């Protein structure tokens, strides 16, 4: 039985902020089926709340197709908010005068088990998508946080533990229903609006507002083992361990069913690093040990290990660490700073870079009064579906990456204000890696871990694709309706 397909624009809602012509907007946005919140209205503060509490913004926001035309007529920036989990509140705009289209009611999910496709409303959350697909014995690659919205997630990448096996979320997009800057409703696919389809898979929010997305989906694995291996290491051992992992993952027989990351956290004592290898094994349960054995044999003695076997949806829940049904519990907020590096497989991190990295973790990381973790996510390695896609096939350019490293630090008690030393710590860690690497080291940064302090963000996020993206931006959005603090804005 198929789920009914939602009609685009049937249900949208809006959240409005301070604007000099607010009274005109109030009247123009009095549209049947549209709910609006202005500053001072009950519910406005919650509607405009960012996931990252470092950012306090007052957007003008809404939910209906003609609202794009209204925003353009008022010379406002227009932004769609899918799940609201942007690390820099990009979906709420950078300043007052942004009209934010909240997609929270675009949650219809239509599944076709025969063709193994699904049409997903852009406001759907990852946890709810996983549950809906699981009803048909199906699954798709995506991140672990249940509350992330699919619209932004699939526009900028979408990495999960199945990505080496199935690709990024955006690699599985078949077509996109969307609204252009002039208010036109259209579809983008390989056969229709192919240039726009290319741009939407890697830089989507700068070009259109997504209402629904058609994905390829997969038969869910019958068995998954969530695994964790842990060590307490000194700086030299930790730097060597990361080098060992770099070599291990490029071995020609590493199965794509192996999804993993290195996790770094505060050591038990100053000068130590807590290093873990965690992830999920989606193959024959009997083959996990033999797959990991070469790496473990080259490592110091284990501090601990754990294994959680189960079916597919149980593994998704374990990795999420919370309920997958996002309507059953409220989302959370944090006050944090995050950075990222995407390291090239052809030029792995040098010993000097790895040593600087682990020195920062072992000493500055031990004393800093922030709650932090670093994730060295395995994108590449042998048999990776992410690397198998040609760089020019989508606007997501970093197809030759070995790792994406997420550097994440929260303030004390996860509440504002965020301390200056929290910025300094992460900046020091990343600078130590890049300054101890070759001058031509071709690293990138990951668009789903947006960094508002990144100076050369266009180069690092989109690399050689920037000229093509800028040309398409001038064609499709010449007045900058979909301009963002971090986006294709030229």
- Domain closes at, from 42, 68, 102: 102
Task: Evaluate whether residue 286 is within a structural domain.
Answer: yes
Please report, for the domain that includes residue 40, its CATH number.
3.30.43.10
Same domain, yes or no, for 190 and 305? no
CA separation for the pair 479, 481 (Å, rounded): 6
pTM: 0.89
pLDDT(327) > 80: yes
Residue ranges in 381-465 assigned as alpha helix (H): 385-388, 420-435, 457-462
- Each residue of 56-90: pLDDT tens digit? 544 433 444 677 887 788 888 888 889 889 999 88
User: Quick check: helix, strand or coil at residue 410?
Assistant: strand
Same domain, yes or no, for 308 and 259? yes
Task: Evaluate whether residue 462 is within a structural domain.
Answer: no
Q: Please enumerate in sequence order all residues whose Cβ is within 8 A of that of 5, keeping only pairs 6 or more positions apart, or say none.
A: 108, 110, 119
Same domain, yes or no, for 191 and 230? no
Please report, for the domain that includes residue 251, its CATH number.
3.40.462.20
18 vs 15, 73, 99, 173, 433, CA distance in Å?
A: 11, 17, 10, 36, 42
Please report, for the domain that includes residue 169, its CATH number.
3.30.465.10
Are 142 and 217 in contact by the 8 Å Cβ rule? The answer is no
Number of domains in the chain: 3
Mean of the pLDDT values across residues 144-167? Answer: 97
Same domain, yes or no, for 146 and 123? yes
Q: Which residue do the tokens 């964790």 mark?
A: 228
pLDDT(332) > 50: yes
- Each residue of 274-313: pLDDT tens digit? 999 999 999 999 999 999 999 999 999 999 999 999 999 9
Same domain, yes or no, for 328 and 181? no
Same domain, yes or no, for 175 and 198? yes
Same domain, yes or no, for 70 and 124? no
Same domain, yes or no, for 45 and 135? no
Same domain, yes or no, for 291 and 364? yes
What average pLDDT does the chain have? 89
Same domain, yes or no, for 127 and 81? no
CA separation for the pair 257, 83 (Å, rounded): 28
- Consecutive H or E run containing 94: none
pLDDT(105) > 90: no
Task: Evaluate whether residue 384 is within a structural domain.
Answer: yes
- Domain range for 337: 224-453
Task: Evaluate whether residue 212 is within a structural domain.
Answer: yes
Same domain, yes or no, for 336 and 270? yes
Task: Evaluate whether residue 460 is within a structural domain.
Answer: no
Indicate the pLDDT class of residue 15, thresholds 50, 70 and 90. very low
Helices first, then strands: H and E counts in the chain: 16, 17
């Amino acid at each position: 039985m198929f789920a009914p397909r939602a009609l685009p624009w049937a249900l949208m809602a809006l959240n409005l902020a301070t604007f000099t012509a607010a009274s005109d907007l109030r009247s123009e946005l009095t549209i049947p089926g549209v709910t609006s919140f202005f500053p001072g209205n009950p519910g406005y503060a919650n509607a405009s709340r960012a996931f990252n509490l470092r950012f306090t913004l007052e957007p003008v926001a809404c939910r209906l197709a003609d609202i794009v035309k209204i925003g353009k007529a008022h010379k406002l920036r227009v932004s769609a908010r899918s799940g609201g989990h942007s690390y820099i509140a990009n979906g709420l705009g950078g300043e007052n005068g942004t009209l934010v289209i909240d997609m929270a009611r675009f949650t219809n999910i239509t599944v076709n088990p025969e063709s193994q496709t699904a049409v997903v409303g852009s406001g759907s959350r990852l946890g709810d998508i996983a549950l809906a697909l699981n009803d048909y014995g199906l699954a798709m690659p995506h991140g672990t946080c249940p509350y992330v919205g699919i619209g932004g997630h699939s526009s900028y990448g979408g990495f999960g533990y199945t990505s080496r096996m199935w690709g990024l979320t955006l690699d599985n997009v078949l077509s996109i229903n969307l609204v252009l800057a002039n208010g036109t409703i259209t579809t983008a696919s390989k056969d229709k609006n192919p240039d726009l389809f290319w741009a939407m898979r890697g830089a989507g929010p700068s070009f259109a507002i997504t209402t629904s997305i058609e994905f390829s989906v997969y038969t869910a694995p019958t068995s998954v083992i969530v695994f964790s291996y842990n060590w307490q290491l000194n700086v030299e051992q930790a730097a060597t361990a990361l080098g060992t992992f770099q070599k291990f993952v490029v071995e020609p027989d590493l199965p794509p069913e192996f999804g993993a990351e290195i996790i770094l956290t505060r050591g038990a004592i100053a000068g130590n690093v807590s290093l873990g290898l965690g992830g999920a094994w989606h193959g024959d349960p009997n083959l996990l040990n033999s797959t990991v054995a070469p790496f473990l044999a080259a490592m110091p003695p284990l501090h601990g290990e754990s294994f959680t076997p189960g079916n597919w949806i149980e593994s998704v829940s374990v990795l999420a660490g919370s309920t997958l049904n996002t309507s059953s519990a409220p989302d959370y907020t944090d006050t944090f700073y995050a950075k990222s590096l995407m390291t090239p497989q052809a030029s792995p991190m040098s010993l000097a870079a790895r040593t600087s990295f682990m020195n920062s973790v072992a000493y500055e990381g031990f004393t800093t009064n922030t709650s932090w973790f670093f994730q060295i996510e395995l994108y590449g390695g042998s048999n990776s579906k992410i690397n198998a896609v040609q760089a020019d096939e989508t606007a997501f350019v970093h197809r030759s990456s070995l790792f994406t490293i997420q550097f994440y630090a929260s303030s004390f008690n996860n509440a504002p204000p965020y301390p200056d030393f929290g910025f300094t710590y992460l900046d020091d860690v990343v600078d130590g890696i890049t300054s101890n690497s070759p001058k031509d080291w071709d690293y990138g940064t990951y668009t789903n871990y947006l960094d508002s302090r990144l100076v050369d963000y266009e180069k690092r996020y989109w690399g050689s694709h920037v000229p093509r993206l800028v040309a398409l931006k001038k064609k499709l959005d010449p007045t900058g309706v979909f301009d963002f603090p971090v986006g294709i804005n030229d």
